[in-house]
Structure 1
């Protein structure tokens, strides 16, 4: 078991490594049932090391959820930047969101929904993603690669579906997990904006 001196570059790297391992654990098993003692044991560190990252289990969960969405956002933006065609970029963006959510277990999503600070982070990222799709649609309309649709409407519709995915409404109605629902959303949006 190691403790964490937060001033050194090694400590910064160790903190990032611990957060990455915490994210993997949370995605696989959720986070509500864990105690700090168990997290320290599972992450092979001391509780004081965890306290060096966050002052409480709740703050540690928030740090882990933020880390997950920061990494996911970077990966999604990298994948969406590659295609030149706007419809392909929208598809790449939403499929990348699906890929990033794929490792998340139902327990993780249930814990996320039940813990307000983590839920707020997810909701913020969902709104940001919907706004990003709206910008991609607007850019495509302006470039003439997407038929003239109302970008704000598409963005609002995407936001509503994303919110329904987040709330579990889509899973309850269709049986689709979040990642599969995002793949279906990508197909729907891309087909909806295709030139006639």
Structure 2
């Protein structure tokens, strides 16, 4: 087996693990159950990680890495389009893409993610990075005069607070919104707030 083939097989297997976890969560699954559901051996899973906990963390990182790539691509496309209202388009594209990335995540997955400290930490880091990106979009728009007269740092901080509330499950408990829908609502709210 060539190195390229092994790398491709490994990526496919990670994608399959992620899809399983997104659909069903991971806390209740054993390595035997994961192997059975993916029609592979436990030894194949051990090529990805030496234990179930490390497999879960690796799969969650894999999920967020792919999500980050897709979200950043959506922001670049909105930014490259230029023209008027670029900040509103970027916010809608970026936060909408976050919502799309999280859409396949079942309640079981999100609950397991929040309950397991290592995966919660991965989600927290990604939320912090996304909040910083939103702040940068609003700051860019304020410098360019593309947003109405708002306090850009305040708007970005509100966005960050909501994003943390989504990530910690507090918003879901208060509103019943799943993470994907909450990000879409946040995108709509922010674009209306900053648009001239």
- Whether TM exceeds 0.5 here: the answer is yes
Preserved CA contact (<8 Å) 1:35 1:57: yes
Residues 1:49 and 2:49 aligned together = no
SS at the partner of 2:147? coil
Cα-Cα RMSD? 1.3
154-163 or 113-122, which deviates more: 154-163
Residues 1:22 and 2:23 aligned together = no
Q: Please state how far the C-alpha of 1:150 moved relative to its aligned partner.
A: 2.8
Residues 1:76 and 2:77 aligned together = no
Structure 2 portions without partners, runs of 5+? none
**Match of 2:157?**
156
Preserved CA contact (<8 Å) 1:135 1:151: no
Preserved CA contact (<8 Å) 1:65 1:118: yes
SS at the partner of 1:139? helix
Q: Please state how far the C-alpha of 1:90 moved relative to its aligned partner.
A: 0.7
Normalising by structure 2, report the TM-score.
0.93
Q: Distance in 2 between matches of 1:128 and 1:33?
A: 29
Which one of 30, 36, 40 corresponds to residue 31 of structure 2?
36
Q: Please state how far the C-alpha of 1:187 moved relative to its aligned partner.
A: 1.0
Over 4 Å off, 4+ runs: none
After superposition, where does 1:127-146 map in structure 2 within 5 Å?
Answer: 127-146=128-147
25-34 or 138-147, which deviates more: 138-147
The number of residues matched between the two structures is: 190
Normalising by structure 1, report the TM-score.
0.93
Preserved CA contact (<8 Å) 1:76 1:93: yes
